[in-house]
Structure 1
């Protein structure tokens, strides 16, 4: 029964009180509680809560418990900062009740309906509020007077913690201040409550804990191995290291022409500094005898050269990395080359040598004289050869390269030693390849990637040189028109003004549009100035019906070329080329404004650049904690109310990022690249297959983790294959890895990287740090740099948590949890074990070490501990499919789990698309070396079941079986709607019985999902216990758009019933054909049996059994229902297959291994 007394007038805010008023509050509190015999108290607590805030939780003192039946009291001062709407919890305990407000009126919220009052909790004014419960009643007080009471319920519940201003959603909850909040474990009488309400708080002398603290600074770190590990923990193998095998060295000219006035400098030699006799000047002079030096692989690292020349074995095989000394990273190295200037070089021109990447530091010598230095792995170094060049004779360039100064101590992974730490002291040397000290997906690389790892170029110019042009594209609504803006820095290297013409030519790479040419003639004073071309001045830069760059799956990634020529009169002074894409990128974000409110907006940084303002505030002080332990970026006041942001009504994805390209929401699916190659062999021929495989897997986003992949080829290929890039800088995990120590060095490298790569349409965001925010001295300079040198993309300090999901999990999880629990919002890192194909594993592990999995597997990242611990995976495998008896048996079962897990990760995202999910990225998709963990493909380009699970779940139009309810869902990623599509399923038992069928018709909006469709599969499964289900989606003409096969059981143990599937005498026919420059093999698989065939794995080989790699399969791990057939196509480069016949090897869950010859003759 409920009774309410008359309401009180809204209290008025009190003026500042003297110091003794503060003591009066504490004394009043003590006096009020003193008469309660045996009462234990808890508090007081003082806190403040902006509108965008999280609640606070306080644990009770040791030995104190609160129980509803025994009685309790809670009270304190509350000052709302704004009128409250709906129900807002002020303070209380689950199971006991909360002080609350309902539409701004004081109430008590317990198990039943709220105990309401007419007391208004006025904004800006303090009100003392208390509730007391004895065995009979709950009494509510305001400013020391009883305002309501009700009979207590009979519940005898206990509370474990006090919640202050808890949030029930990202934007809901009490906003304001709380002072003197106290809890007692017995009821208080009216007099005691009145005494508590006698002295109001003095805000000027009260320290308030914030429910929305700003981002913290780093407080601790680790340094990796502090001493060499015990010898008994080193990995062991019964196989000795392989003999080194040399490959042919470069034998071409020292200068390799790359275009007018441009040459790549080749024919380098290499020697360790301790073995290079003579002084630096002598080494860099003509006549020096370097005949005993190694012929260097450039671009390439020291280790690459030493492996290529047969000094050391391939570190990727077995434990052979242990046969390479760590001393490579603890000494200096000399690179040397010599050349004669080309005879057709125009006289009187300037000569510059550009080093596109040296790790880590270098002294550059030319013809016996020191000409320059570089520091940091990612900054270009340029040397003016003018003072040093020999115009008619031999020219010598010698470069003394030093590795990072803190290489750390290698941790060698083994079963006994475990996974070790991720990195160590080398992290302080960023900008460098910090992963090469060793991570849980890569061993210690012996030279730490020291060397001339990128190209060296010689350029001949006139007096005026071209710098890094900046292209900015802006799209009109509807994408029917694009404005192109071009900024070209030009430098006059002479000592007098020069009259010059700057000409910019844009060509559509597809050749569909006529070239656009704009130019400007001007006087260029000595030094650097920027020449600008804007659409407002040059009508040609306003492009109608532009060909747009789109992410993979949403359209073609159209590219344009920009050629900039500087002319002195009619003579070409300099030329530069860059590629760009016409596209817009905007971002849906939840940002904390200057009043402390969370606002869901679409942020257009290109528009902000046009307006000369900044949108987001990435300073530590501006990053605020909000509800549910999430974090949001600050919104700068200068952006509020401008056209650079657009308010959004749909807040369901708060606070998470949504990426929009060309106005279209992109369902971001992909993964991180820890490093493209652990030895930084990053030529196009090596990298392009990885990018094509990613594109063919239907992913559209990758991450340049800690900037380890920062080179031209990486971004060029990302552009061409439509892969968006989240681009990190070179700092890693907060409160774990050491922060970079030389901020000026870091910024010099960062500035060069931004200027060099900002035109790549693939880059959609800049991350300051992996898993944390860089120290303020670095973070704030990075944010300012992105604004000044890019201005069109979002910069955020952290790769996770701030407007993004936290990282992980990384170990095996039940597939249904990717629908219900894990990786919600925009998740940048979620991983699970991903064992490679048996063939890929055997290619890098000696026969003696293949089974049981031992130290060599551990060295290749099959970890018993750490983030990727395999114990949950192995336990699930044993439980679901039985303990493996051999490598073949293990790999067979592991691939079934690989397929299911990786498909579930992306289907779980699909199921909540645009309601609770906007992006999901694997940790990781790209292996840096032959790994057994976190990958969808192998270092040698082989593709295992994880690849095809990802490929299917990420396909543009997809039908899937949701977990755990087994509803059917249709995902339509393209912009165009899907009309009247036919969804059907058929379910079979392991003995071939048709357990059920079903069908329906659906229409799905563009970029949307159908939502769950119950076709009765869940009930069917409950009846049968184990079924194989095939889903099919077809358009109105009956063309199959998507089909997927699932093996589902009512318990993990029931999956063992798959072993009862009879072997299928699968028929296989393979026919080769030529299509342009590519070779293709069409493989027809047929299941003539009465039972399902699961996961038929196809491998293209030579007639002798060697794998052909890379191969681009249209599908693999194919499952066929009874009587079904399928044609699967393999595409490959004929050069990869060599001479002779081809064959296709086939194995399946329930089919014996066999090989068939490709029946077409080789052309």
Structure 2
């Protein structure tokens, strides 16, 4: 607060004197009634801490014309360089320069030369009156200096601020006071602080506990807010049920149970004992789809329409999630099962709880969606006749109340009370990318398998690979749990055989013969004992874009004499994963290290400490994991140079190579959990072809074998969540023991998958301590090779978001810095995909049905910024076709910018960026880069181009050119060139430069003169081309920059061009391909040329894998793109449309010989 009286008088030059006397004198004329004081503040700052900011009392401000600041400081170490102690911009700061007291922020530092010794309290103060700064130490004047006058006002004080470039104060501060009342400041100099009586606020607080939560929809929403459609619900359509044998062989001594029936418990007469007995009449039950959920069966049998179309989900009752269900099967014993052997039935996934009955007797239970349930059928079997298994399945106990998205109702909450039931599919209560799934994914959603074994049974083998730095050798360690099911010791041989899937490696066979006592024991194979496990010249698993994702199979056989007791197979990859992290050590310092958890496991030490108390806030409002003392000084960590702007963020290294992590989140592979390989594999192929290399198993909703197998095969790293969501928003899981039982099984089951590179305890927050600490201990004990962190964001990672539309240049300057796990923007699908999911009556204008399919009027993904930007750039859309045309241009630009913005700061300030989302759980209009039906829109190709291994790009907002070289091989003497065209077809300019880029690096900005051309023209179409020394094109990309959003409207003045199209078909093995040559016959550019492959009936061929799409063609340019597909027969056509080209369809020539 400023006063009418004059500022502080300048003290006359005289010998040092007591500060309190001086300040009392200079303010003698000031009325105590007008005094303004902030403080006192008491705080402590470990070296890694962030600073604190304290706001002034209401109505109080201070200015450089009249201010005094002082307090006690006890450094824990002497800071080198300039460290700010306390103050405010515009007024100045108490500071230290190389460990001596000074005043900064009023021109050149006012230096005292008085040391601030570590471990000792020193009272320091300064007064400023607009003309002079006077410094005091322990009550005596130690420096004064004339300074420039100023009238800046301060309404907050910064204590130990971190500037990011200079040193930082570490230690304690007591009694810090700032004000225009000198006496209030002075009084503190006389009495040193009594530390035992002071509670110090910590500038590096530990991670907080959850303090609030929401419960979702508490009551059914008002009827007027429900979505409405002029089109009635569709009629159900049944599909043929499985009609094969009950048991389907899946390998030696193993069978899948395929023939099941289903009925709701209230419609299944009789007791559980009767239902599970032979002779029970289940003829009126539904033939069940297994694996599959209850809803999948009811849709497949024609009871309900597909919930994916229009508003048909509203025609399916919520009661499906509020009742129990019976699954039933019967079979005779398989031929391969011999008397005297054990026969186990294993349920690989039941949601949520089950009672398992066999031949009229209760045989077991399961609880939790992700734990396997296994029962030895021996005591229950009928060896000569029919055997019945009946399973009573219960949905999650807290299904919540559905929120139905509409324009009036908005997006609603993300989840609700069902979150407390984790481990389950908590998203099925409804999220902002998925509606409420009516059965909450209840059912036998994974395979049910019979397995015949002898007395010694194999458990989940564990394979650990350690790779030499030069990649010439790998140590393979194997641990095999074996269980003796008998009551006597058994002599057995455990044999492990390793083969590579490429077939180029001679099989490695190792074995041990031992006496196995009753119970479970671990058999270990190590390279110290078996030289063959030192694999020479191993074929390595690499992430997509860095090499082939080579896989190996481990077959474990247990023999009793010559007889096979049991067999198991697991896949693994030979690879190393290490992590660059900034960790807080026991002294409070932030240390940049490379953490090798595999080596730590071998040494018997833990590296990171993920407890709440060990997670500390650090400079820049970031958070960092703790470094355990036991790892310091060991080979498990390697000290790195300061990471600068990249700290404290994660860098993933695979096989010693930094991986630029580009990819996206999978909220759920399919909202009805139809997760067979045939359905899921096209999604993985599309991700691989888009050049992404990392995906996230969000909240563990995709935890099944097919997901990880395909991630392995397609080279997609996986960040794997457990089943808890957002802190201080979603309810925490209530049954920790249940959660851990599921988690233990999941880790043991999937730990060999090379795709998994990290475990996250919770989405956007740390689990409650009772759960978090058990999860961390579990990963150390049962995995030991990967990083566990409690949170999917903030801790060594960037915060989440944004999720709505942002100007493309902000992805270079502001958003997604460091390692960002969730960055989203609207992503409207192709017109064809939208029309396939939405009835004609509801397509335009976009209304309730679009909102139901996630075109959000509110919430994180609110579309208002997108629509405003679209109208500002291209004008208000007049129809669905016009809207989709404009939306695709924005999709391409924004998604490309997200990853090019990461590229521009790669390794300097960025190491990973992941879209929210890449995978659609259902026909959604929001976020993902492809459609639920496998169609691909412009967002996909913008992502694909920006993520290509070698890439040339135009940075924003400066329009410099950058070359990104992701592979390890250097790029030598490449040529980067541009051509810039006006919308009327005039070549505005061109330029070129020669560039060399090391491997896994970027060129940095190259000024080719595009910016002045753009300033002159206002709007350009710019093509960048990167070629190697032989003239081969390595990368080309087209941009349409303008000097303002409104200038983008000039793109509508591009002359309409009917692109010349030639298409021919050919066959390669089992795949068919169509090559399409596009030619621009005009003298103006053509943008966003969209190709769609159609069958003889005019329907889209899906999935189809285009080498490129939404193609830009410069004047006179021809380009050939190809499409690969299977299944479609007969005549084909290619439909073509462009930003400035009419729609047309061209017949595909017959296959060439």
Flag whether TM exceeds 0.5 (same fold): yes
In 1, distance between residues paired with 2:821 and 2:149?
48
Does residue 1158 of the first structure (1) align with residue 1148 of the second (2)?
yes
Spell out, residue by residue over 1:443-485, the C-alpha distance to the aligned partner (whole angstroms, 9 max, x if none): 0000000000000000000000000000000011111110000
8 A Cα contact 2:540 2:574, kept in partner = yes
2:45 paired residue number = 49
Alignment counterpart, residue 271 of structure 1, candidates 260, 263, 278: 263
After the TM superposition, which parts of structure 1 deviate over 3 Å for at least 4 consecutive aligned residues? Answer: 1-9, 31-37, 192-195
2:5 paired residue number = none
The Cα shift of 1:118 comes to 1.2
In 2, distance between residues paired with 1:509 and 1:650?
41
In 2, distance between residues paired with 1:149 and 1:395?
96
8 A Cα contact 2:320 2:439, kept in partner = yes
8 A Cα contact 2:403 2:436, kept in partner = yes
In 1, distance between residues paired with 2:175 and 2:29?
13
Does residue 781 of the first structure (1) align with residue 774 of the second (2)?
yes
8 A Cα contact 1:3 1:148, kept in partner = no
Alignment counterpart, residue 327 of structure 1, candidates 303, 312, 319: 319
1:160 paired residue number = 155
CA 2–53 in structure 1, closer or farther in 2 if over 3 Å, else same: farther
What are the residue-to-residue correspondences of 1:167-566 with 2, within 5 Å? 167-169=162-164, 172-186=167-181, 188=182, 195-566=187-558
Spell out, residue by residue over 1:402-450, the C-alpha distance to the aligned partner (whole angstroms, 9 max, x if none): 0000000000000000000000000000000000000000000000000
1:923 paired residue number = 916
In 1, distance between residues paired with 2:108 and 2:11?
10
Alignment counterpart, residue 886 of structure 2, candidates 867, 871, 893: 893
Spell out, residue by residue over 1:313-358, the C-alpha distance to the aligned partner (whole angstroms, 9 max, x if none): 0000000000000000000000000000023422210010000000
In 1, distance between residues paired with 2:28 and 2:401?
62
In 2, distance between residues paired with 1:7 and 1:1123?
83
CA 785–145 in structure 1, closer or farther in 2 if over 3 Å, else same: same
Spell out, residue by residue over 1:212-258, the C-alpha distance to the aligned partner (whole angstroms, 9 max, x if none): 00000000000000000000100000000010000000000001111
The Cα shift of 1:193 comes to 5.9
Does residue 1142 of the first structure (1) align with residue 1142 of the second (2)?
no
Spell out, residue by residue over 1:557-585, the C-alpha distance to the aligned partner (whole angstroms, 9 max, x if none): 00000000000000000000000000000
1:973 paired residue number = 966
CA 1125–2 in structure 1, closer or farther in 2 if over 3 Å, else same: farther
Aligned partner of residue 553 in structure 1, secondary structure = coil
In 2, distance between residues paired with 1:968 and 1:1049?
16
8 A Cα contact 2:805 2:866, kept in partner = yes
The Cα shift of 1:5 comes to 9.7
Does residue 134 of the first structure (1) align with residue 129 of the second (2)?
yes
The Cα shift of 1:152 comes to 3.8
In 1, distance between residues paired with 2:746 and 2:335?
34
In 2, distance between residues paired with 1:915 and 1:621?
30
8 A Cα contact 1:52 1:171, kept in partner = no
- More divergent stretch after superposition (476-485 vs 358-367): 476-485
The Cα shift of 1:959 comes to 0.2
1:14 paired residue number = none
Aligned partner of residue 379 in structure 2, secondary structure = coil
Spell out, residue by residue over 1:79-106, the C-alpha distance to the aligned partner (whole angstroms, 9 max, x if none): 0000111000000011000000000000
In 2, distance between residues paired with 1:962 and 1:950?
15
2:742 paired residue number = 749
In 1, distance between residues paired with 2:1099 and 2:971?
44
In 1, distance between residues paired with 2:13 and 2:85?
20
In 2, distance between residues paired with 1:171 and 1:728?
37
In 1, distance between residues paired with 2:551 and 2:949?
22
CA 294–3 in structure 1, closer or farther in 2 if over 3 Å, else same: farther
CA 854–5 in structure 1, closer or farther in 2 if over 3 Å, else same: farther
In 2, distance between residues paired with 1:280 and 1:591?
56
1:1124 paired residue number = 1117
8 A Cα contact 2:130 2:148, kept in partner = no
In 2, distance between residues paired with 1:1100 and 1:132?
76
CA RMSD of aligned residues (A): 1.7
8 A Cα contact 2:130 2:150, kept in partner = no
Does residue 1039 of the first structure (1) align with residue 1032 of the second (2)?
yes
Alignment counterpart, residue 999 of structure 2, candidates 1003, 1006, 1015: 1006
The Cα shift of 1:169 comes to 1.7
The Cα shift of 1:133 comes to 1.8
1:838 paired residue number = 831
8 A Cα contact 1:5 1:148, kept in partner = no
In 2, distance between residues paired with 1:872 and 1:758?
42
In 2, distance between residues paired with 1:171 and 1:616?
28
Spell out, residue by residue over 1:476-535, the C-alpha distance to the aligned partner (whole angstroms, 9 max, x if none): 111111000000000000010000000000001100110000000000000000000001
8 A Cα contact 2:593 2:638, kept in partner = yes
1:19 paired residue number = none
1:661 paired residue number = 654
In 2, distance between residues paired with 1:5 and 1:636?
54
Structure 1: stretches of 5+ with no match in the other structure:
10-23
Aligned partner of residue 62 in structure 1, secondary structure = coil
In 2, distance between residues paired with 1:7 and 1:273?
91
Aligned partner of residue 238 in structure 1, secondary structure = coil
In 1, distance between residues paired with 2:129 and 2:1017?
55
In 2, distance between residues paired with 1:833 and 1:181?
48
In 1, distance between residues paired with 2:1149 and 2:811?
43
Aligned partner of residue 594 in structure 1, secondary structure = coil
8 A Cα contact 1:145 1:194, kept in partner = no
Alignment counterpart, residue 575 of structure 1, candidates 558, 563, 567: 567
In 1, distance between residues paired with 2:561 and 2:335?
24
Aligned partner of residue 1035 in structure 2, secondary structure = strand
Aligned partner of residue 489 in structure 1, secondary structure = strand
In 2, distance between residues paired with 1:1115 and 1:1078?
18
Spell out, residue by residue over 1:1012-1051, the C-alpha distance to the aligned partner (whole angstroms, 9 max, x if none): 0000000000000000000000000000000000001000
CA 310–33 in structure 1, closer or farther in 2 if over 3 Å, else same: farther
Aligned partner of residue 940 in structure 2, secondary structure = helix
2:814 paired residue number = 821
Alignment counterpart, residue 102 of structure 2, candidates 94, 100, 107: 107
Does residue 145 of the first structure (1) align with residue 145 of the second (2)?
no
CA 643–6 in structure 1, closer or farther in 2 if over 3 Å, else same: farther
Alignment counterpart, residue 610 of structure 1, candidates 599, 602, 624: 602
The Cα shift of 1:42 comes to 1.2
CA 1113–193 in structure 1, closer or farther in 2 if over 3 Å, else same: closer
In 1, distance between residues paired with 2:588 and 2:1086?
58
Aligned partner of residue 575 in structure 1, secondary structure = strand
8 A Cα contact 2:204 2:618, kept in partner = yes
8 A Cα contact 1:4 1:116, kept in partner = no
Spell out, residue by residue over 1:272-318, the C-alpha distance to the aligned partner (whole angstroms, 9 max, x if none): 00000000000000000000000000000000000000000000000
Aligned partner of residue 775 in structure 2, secondary structure = helix
Spell out, residue by residue over 1:126-180, the C-alpha distance to the aligned partner (whole angstroms, 9 max, x if none): 0001111234422111000011111242211101210000001288411000000
TM-score (norm 1): 0.97
8 A Cα contact 2:68 2:185, kept in partner = no
What are the residue-to-residue correspondences of 1:657-736 with 2, within 5 Å? 657-736=650-729
